[in-house]
């Protein structure tokens, strides 16, 4: 009989295995709401108020128009900086970053200057018992820890015994342990513990295969039209050598009919070029005595420990070039190796009703597009599958909620945000990345707006006017034309010193490995963060806290707000925010000293975000990632629409948190800073 290991955990480099154990839901004291009301909030990540108004004016959004006519429409103040994990944490906790400790996608360790993921970390077990050969038995389990601080608003609703469902809200992985029904969203990893690593089997790997981020390019060959390979899986905690597990895949090609058969485990799938499979379960065996490359053959696993995942296959071509894309391996909602929901079995309950679905936090495979594995049309096909799947889940949950006597429902859509990021160039011929292929899809963003309008219509029709309905977004959007290499500017202006400033070394080093910290005053890390190298805080700090730090910040702010793009003469930075002035709460001490609010069409470069130093300060953004929102917060507010009238026209994300609690007569925590906005 096959035995399944109860769980695993890993993010990035950190690894661990959950060796059993029971997840215990937090038991909170009872509370009582003032009245039995119903409220639904729909979160459309990245819906921009200006774009929305344009689509309304063009007659594309009849359901939004009806909803606004019943109540109100205003902008919703976003977070500083306007990054999704920060903004959604503001909404979840009713606080700003000083209260919830999320300041960027990545933070830094002041003792090493190295970046780490801001929202969660993996803690593994270091003890084990040696077995035979290369095998060991890990003692105790690893775990993933949520780094966001503060209580989530649904914990307060639970205390008041209000039936609550929260679907895919970002920045909630691992999900807060509660009896409320939740499914984790952005931040949920794949089975390798990464944000999403696809596999690409091909007989003709690209020359830059090693440089493609977010995917494993596997060079395969066919013998009599048959090829064997393995899908990379989670790390194997039983293996002293630290090898990854792998799920075996056998590929058969029919050159004459241009079709392929894919076999994995007991599953057989036949595809023609351009077709996606349905979800396919895959298994990763943990114990064995033979290697398959650097992975483990299932046949060599006599004790049979395995974890399961799920994938979809996409066949690009059969012959002369064979190319097969495999989605990142999902934590299978029917058999989750790691809890992605509360209660633990709710992900399974949903999947049994609707079919398997993406559990990965950001399922649109923008990395496959950026790496050239997908062209624009193939990416849109994959992204449409994501939205189709989300709409099916949405209809199911809205219909269920319509039958409930009272309660709260939150539902999240990622499609607009992710597709606007990489497809802005399709609707903007002025963008440096606009090309002939991109211009074939000028209406793609408009079409997403239209589909989301249908979602609003479904909610209005099935819930009726007695249910409070709110539509909101965490931030808006802007084009990203020009990159700003902020660390290069700091180096060339004497605020940061490199060990070797020669062009070859400077341009090739990353993660600050070329920085002379003992002669550095300031450094940029993350998309918006700007840090002072403070003595006593950073490992090799040089700037005294207090007056010296404050004077240096004022000097930097003055110079940065005068920084102009040499090509256009435009100011590149609209605002530089001092964290101590815009944040409050116990975690301000962990924040960047300053947050850089870039001007419209500018953004900090990816190179600078991770400690690289290109020779120039500015460059055209010619990548697929062509739209963004990590700029000055007042340029990219979100939206707030409701069938209720608002008492004010300047709400922020944390005000919506207070509004939800007030709607049910639930007192907010004392450190929540928002105020209700309904009349």
pLDDT tens profile 234-243: 888 777 666 7
Inter-axis angle of helices 653-663 and 84-93, nearest 10: 30
The whole-number average pLDDT for the span 282-297 is: 59
Tokens of 569: 């003469």
Whether 573 has a pLDDT exceeding 90, the answer reads yes
pLDDT (0 to 100) of residue 137:
58
**pTM, two decimal places:** 0.92
> Is position 595 within any domain?
yes
Alpha-carbon gap, residue 627 to 615, rounded angstroms: 24
DSSP, residue by residue, 108-151? E-TTT--EEESSEEEE----EEE-STTBEEE-S--EEEE---S-
381, part of any domain: no
How many alpha carbons fall within 13 Å on the CB side of residue 647? Answer: 8
pLDDT of residue 125: 58
Tell me if 83 sits within 8 A of 480, measured CB to CB.
no
314 lies in some domain: no
Give the mean pLDDT of 549-574.
99
| 410 in a structural domain | no
Q: What are phi and psi of 323, to 5 degrees?
A: -140, 125
Confirm whether 563 is domain-assigned: yes
For the stretch 173-227, pLDDT in tens is 999 999 999 999 999 999 999 999 999 999 999 999 988 999 999 999 999 999 9
| Residues 304-348: tens digit of each pLDDT | 578 899 999 999 999 999 999 999 999 999 999 999 999 999 999
129 pLDDT band (50/70/90 cuts)? low
Cα 592–chain centre separation: 21
- Average pLDDT score over residue span 569-583: 99
Could you give the CA distance from residue 429 to residue 18 in angstroms, rounded to a whole number?
A: 50
pLDDT of res. 239? 72
Using omega within 30 degrees of 0 as the cis cutoff, is the peptide bond preceding 619 cis? Answer: no
Q: DSSP readout, 209-247?
A: GGG-TTEEEEE---BTTEEEEEEEEEE-TTBTT-PEEEE
Show the tokens assigned to 325: 């894309």
Determine the pLDDT at residue 364.
Answer: 99
What is the percent of the chain with per-residue pLDDT over 70, rounded to a whole number?
89
- pLDDT mean over 126-138: 62
User: What value does the mean pLDDT take over residues 115-130?
Assistant: 78
Confidence label for 35 from pLDDT (cuts 50, 70 and 90): low
| Number of CB atoms found within 10 A of residue 488's CB | 25
- The mean pLDDT value of the chain amounts to 91
What lies within 8 Å, CB to CB, of 41 at 6+ separation is 408, 409, 410, 411, 470, 471, 472, 656, 660
Q: Does 518 reside within a domain?
A: yes
What is the distance between the alpha carbons of residues 54 and 501, in angstroms, rounded to a whole number?
A: 48
Burial 426-462 (b: 16+ CB within 10 A, else e): bbbeebbbbeeebeebeebbeebbebbbebbbbbbeb
In angstroms, what is the C-alpha Rg of the chain?
25
CA 560 centroid distance within chain: 29
In whole angstroms, what is the distance from residue 80 CA to residue 148 CA?
16
What's the residue count for the chain?
Answer: 679
- 314 and 324 Cβ atoms separated by less than 8 Å: yes
pLDDT of residue 20 exceeding 50: no
141 contacts 19 by C-beta, under 8 angstroms: yes
User: Residue 128 has what pLDDT?
Assistant: 61
For residue 509, is it within any domain? Answer: yes
Range of 545's domain? 481-632
- Of residues 507 and 88, more confidence is placed in 88
How many domains does the structure of the chain reveal?
1
Closest CA relative to residue 496, chosen from 485, 508, 504, 484: 485
Specify whether the CB–CB gap between 219 and 205 falls below 8 A. Answer: yes
Asked whether residue 557 is assigned to any structural domain, the reply reads yes
Residue with tokens 């790691």: 338
Q: Is the pLDDT of residue 301 over 80?
A: no
Q: Return the pLDDT at 223.
A: 98
- Pick from 98-107, 282-291, 444-453: least confident: 282-291
Using DSSP, state whether 58 is helix, strand or coil. coil
């Amino acid at each position: 009989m096959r035995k399944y290991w109860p769980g695993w955990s890993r993010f990035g480099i950190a690894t661990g295995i959950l060796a059993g154990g029971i997840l215990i839901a937090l038991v909170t004291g009872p509370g009582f709401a003032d009245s039995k009301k119903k409220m639904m909030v729909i979160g459309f990540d990245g819906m921009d108020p200006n774009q929305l108004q344009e689509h309304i004016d063009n007659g594309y959004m009849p359901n939004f128009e009806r909803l606004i006519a019943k109540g109100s429409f205003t902008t919703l103040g976003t977070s500083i900086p306007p990054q999704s994990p920060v903004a959604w944490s503001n909404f979840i906790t009713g606080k700003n970053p000083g209260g919830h400790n999320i300041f960027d996608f990545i933070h830094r360790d002041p003792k090493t200057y190295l970046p780490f993921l801001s929202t969660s970390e993996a803690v593994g077990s270091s003890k084990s018992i040696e077995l035979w050969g290369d095998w060991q038995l890990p003692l105790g389990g690893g775990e993933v820890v949520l780094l966001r601080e503060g209580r989530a608003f649904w914990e307060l609703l639970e205390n008041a015994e209000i039936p609550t469902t929260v679907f895919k809200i970002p920045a909630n992985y691992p999900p807060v342990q509660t009896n409320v029904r939740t499914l984790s969203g952005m931040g949920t990893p794949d089975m390798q513990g990464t944000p999403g690593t696809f596999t690409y089997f091909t007989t003709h790997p690209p020359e830059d295969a090693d440089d493609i981020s977010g995917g494993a390019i596997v060079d395969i060959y066919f013998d009599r039209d048959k090829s064997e390979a393995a899908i990379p899986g989670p790390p194997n905690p039983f293996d002293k050598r630290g090898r990854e597990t792998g799920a075996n895949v056998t590929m058969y090609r029919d050159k004459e009919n241009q079709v392929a058969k894919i076999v994995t485990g007991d599953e057989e799938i036949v595809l023609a070029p351009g077709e996606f499979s349905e979800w396919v379960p895959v298994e990763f065996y943990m114990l064995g005595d033979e290697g398959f490359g650097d992975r483990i053959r299932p046949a060599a696993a006599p004790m049979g420990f395995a974890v399961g995942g799920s994938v979809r296959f996409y066949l690009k071509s059969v012959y002369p070039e064979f190319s097969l894309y495999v989605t990142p391996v999902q934590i299978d909602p029917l058999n989750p190796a790691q809890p992605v929901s509360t209660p633990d079995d709710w992900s399974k309950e949903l999947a049994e009703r609707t079919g398997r679905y993406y559990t990965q936090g950001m399922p649109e495979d923008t990395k496959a597009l950026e790496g050239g594995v997908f062209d624009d049309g193939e990416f849109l096909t994959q992204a449409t599958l994501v939205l189709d799947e989300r709409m099916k889940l949405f209809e199911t949950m809205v219909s269920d909620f319509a039958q409930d006597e009272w309660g709260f429902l939150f539902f999240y859509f990622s499609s607009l945000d992710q597709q606007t990021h990489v497809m802005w160039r399709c609707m903007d011929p002025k963008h440096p990345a606009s090309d002939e292929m991109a211009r074939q899809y000028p209406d793609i963003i408009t079409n997403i707006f239209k589909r989301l309008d249908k979602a609003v219509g479904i909610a209005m029709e099935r819930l009726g006017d007695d249910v409070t309905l709110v539509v909101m977004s965490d931030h808006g959007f802007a084009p990203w034309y020009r990159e700003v290499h902020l660390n290069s500017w700091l180096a060339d202006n004497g605020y940061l010193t490199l060990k070797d400033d020669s062009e070859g070394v400077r341009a090739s080093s990353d993660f600050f490995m070329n920085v002379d910290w003992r002669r550095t005053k300031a450094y940029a890390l993350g998309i918006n963060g700007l840090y002072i190298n403070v003595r006593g805080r950073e490992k090799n700090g040089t700037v005294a806290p207090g007056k010296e730090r404050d004077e240096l910040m004022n000097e930097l702010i003055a110079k940065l707000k005068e920084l102009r793009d040499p090509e256009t003469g435009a100011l590149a930075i609209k605002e530089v925010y001092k964290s101590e002035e815009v944040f409050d709460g116990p975690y301000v001490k962990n924040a960047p000293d300053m947050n850089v609010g870039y001007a419209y069409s500018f953004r900090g470069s990816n190179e600078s975000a991770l400690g690289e130093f290109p020779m120039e300060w500015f460059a055209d953004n010619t990548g697929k990632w062509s739209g963004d929102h990590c700029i000055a917060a007042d340029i990219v507010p979100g939206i707030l629409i409701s069938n209720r009238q608002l008492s004010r026209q300047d709400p922020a994300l944390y005000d919506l948190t207070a509004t939800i609690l007030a709607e049910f007569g639930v007192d907010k925590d004392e450190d929540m800073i928002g105020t209700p906005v309904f009349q």
